Amino acid sequence: MLSSRIAVKRNALSVHFTSQFSRLSSSKTSPLELPFPKSISEILSSPPANSSPITVNGWVSGSRTSKNVAFVDVRDGTTFQDIKCIVRPPSLIPSNLNTGSSVTLHGLWTEGKKGSSQAFELQVNGNDNPDAAVKVLGEVEELYPLQKKSHTAQFLRTIPEYRLRTIEMSAILRFRSVVETALVEFFNSAGFTKTHPPLITSSDCEGAGELFKVESNSKVEKGEKFFGKDAYLSVSTQLHLEVMCAALSRVWTLTPCFRAEESDTNRHLSEFWMLEAEVAFVEDVRQLTRFSEMMIKSVVQRLHDNLENSASNLTETIDKQLVETMTSRWEMMLKKDQWDTITYTEAIEILHRSMEEGKTNFKFAPIWGESLKSEHEKWLAGSYFGNPVFVTDYPLNEKPFYMQINPENSDNIDKATVACFDLLVPDIGELIGGSMREHDLKKLEAEISRREMDVSPLQWYLALRENGSVPHGGFGMGFERLLQYLSCTENIRDVVPFPRHVDSCPC
């Protein structure tokens, strides 16, 4: 999908939604007087007066020369747009200027000709402007891989050092930044404190055994342990976030998380970013689902409201059909007042019914007590609901130790469920996982002991329940999965600058 992205005309979108989130607006340009040369984004968003002298810096995205004139398109990654430079005489163009070269051009900022695709262009005219100049800062080798033609996403992943210079990948990086900013503003407006939990930890939060060990090389050689015990890269910051929640009431974070999952899929990374939130004085998992829905809708609303400034950076770099798919996805997410919520038990029933009625044919039969497989998740959200859907109250045995056990069937381990939820979205499946946390010390200790877990590394976590314990809950959302879903990107590896997965850490 990514490889098919091409430039399309501006304003392909005219959708507009109003809501409580529409006031969250952003502008890419800075009103500050910065000690840097102007970027292309700054030049285009507040253009200098006609015929004023100006310097443009960037990388050549294309050039051609004819007898009397040469054309150089320059891009700097601050926007999807190029600046078109008209160079006269063509002999001003250094012989080492090629697609990909870094360049500085001096010329006059000039209104484009009627009918030209750009309102302004840079006239580098040596015939009547003695300062006109084209300078190559950095040459490219003859075999520079990013020539003008488009490349497949797979090929681009093999050149991580240049991949981000493509129009598609630089748009994705700007999109990451836009979405993160929207989330920061949402959490600020919701009275949360952004916190900074550790990434080196001695606990396995999820208990799934997908840990990467952290050890110093010199200690390994001596058979010693740097931290005096085993330590790991965090799979989720939740446990530490709970500590901060017990001090600050509403906390969130966005951090890298690391999982040694060997699954080679289009939705798993070994290093990914997770947004986690934890809220005190919450009693019901529905409060968490409602809140996470508000969070995602606030981002989508902002993308809609700011197509020119933010989302356009993405929509302008993909083909028209994908823009339509993407915006109808966004509209769909905003349309419904509240997304559907079903219990895990209802989900299993729906899946069974669809099989019985011959509507579906899953590879794995849905079985109560087992996890929902990715095919089940995608079908529920994509085909059945056609929208994000919350699934709550999963079986106790399928979920980690810290989740609060629902009172119903709590004495029958095989039927017991927990106060948790997953948010499933079409095409991807699970986007968020969250739950109420067991805040009663005795109950939590009983569950840890039932699972025959070693309690000693969790003493600090249990201590939270000894003094001033409060009902609380939270969730974690895969940031790349959100980006993947919002941008309709097929593979999660293409929404992250340097994807890491099993057998791949090239730089």
Residues lying near ligand 4AD in the complex (CB under 6 A) are found at: 205-206, 236, 238, 259, 261, 268-269, 272, 274, 276, 430-434, 474-478, 480-481
- Number of other residues whose CB lies within 10 A of the CB of residue 485: 24
Give min distance, CB of 204 to ligand 4AD, in A. 11
Pick the closer one to ligand 4AD by CB: 168 or 206. 206
For residues 338 and 59, the answer to whether their CB atoms sit within 8 Å is no
Binding mask 388-427 for Mg ion (x = CB under 5 A): ----------------------------------------
Give min distance, CB of 289 to ligand 4AD, in A. 13
Q: One-letter amino acid identity for 206?
A: E
Pick the closer one to Mg ion by CB: 197 or 433. 433
Largest CA distance in the chain: 89
Pick the closer one to Mg ion by CB: 75 or 267. 267
Give min distance, CB of 473 to ligand 4AD, in A. 8
Give min distance, CB of 505 to ligand 4AD, in A. 15
Pick the closer one to ligand 4AD by CB: 186 or 475. 475
Give min distance, CB of 172 to ligand 4AD, in A. 16
Which region, judged by CB under 5 A, interacts with Mg ion, from 120-128, 165-173, 399-407, 428-436?
Answer: 428-436
**How far apart, in whole angstroms, are the C-alpha atoms of residue 302 and residue 473?**
27
**How far apart, in whole angstroms, are the C-alpha atoms of residue 307 and residue 298?**
14
User: Token digits for 448?
Assistant: 């840890």
Q: One-letter amino acid identity for 482?
A: L
**How far apart, in whole angstroms, are the C-alpha atoms of residue 4 and residue 320?**
10
User: Token digits for 222?
Assistant: 């001596």
Pick the closer one to ligand 4AD by CB: 132 or 269. 269
- Nearest CA among 334, 346, 335, 425 for reference residue 385: 425
- Number of other residues whose CB lies within 10 A of the CB of residue 217: 7
- The item of ligand 4AD, Mg ion, none sharing an interface with residue 474, based on CB under 5 to 8 Å by kind, is ligand 4AD
Pick the closer one to Mg ion by CB: 101 or 238. 238
For residues 276 and 238, the answer to whether their CB atoms sit within 8 Å is yes
**How far apart, in whole angstroms, are the C-alpha atoms of residue 461 and residue 447?**
14
Q: Which residues contact 402 (CB under 8 A, 6 or more apart)?
A: 238, 239, 435, 437, 438, 444
- Number of other residues whose CB lies within 10 A of the CB of residue 493: 23
Across 41-55, b (16+ Cβ under 10 Å) vs e yields bbbbbeeeeeeeebe
Give min distance, CB of 167 to Mg ion, in A. 34
Q: One-letter amino acid identity for 105?
A: L
Collapsing DSSP to helix, strand or coil, 71 comes out as strand
433 belongs to the binding site for Mg ion (CB under 5 A): yes
| CA dist 287 → 293, 385, 417 (Å) | 10, 21, 18
Pick the closer one to ligand 4AD by CB: 100 or 433. 433
Give min distance, CB of 482 to ligand 4AD, in A. 8
Which region, judged by CB under 5 A, interacts with Mg ion, from 52-60, 375-383, 433-441, 493-501?
Answer: 433-441
Give min distance, CB of 432 to Mg ion, in A. 8
User: Token digits for 251?
Assistant: 């906390």
Give min distance, CB of 168 to ligand 4AD, in A. 20
Total residues interacting with Mg ion, rule: CB under 5 A: 1
- The item of ligand 4AD, Mg ion, none sharing an interface with residue 259, based on CB under 5 to 8 Å by kind, is ligand 4AD
Q: Which residue is nearest to Mg ion (CB)?
A: 433
- The item of ligand 4AD, Mg ion, none sharing an interface with residue 476, based on CB under 5 to 8 Å by kind, is ligand 4AD
Residues of the shown chain interacting with Mg ion in the complex, contacts defined by CB under 5 A:
433
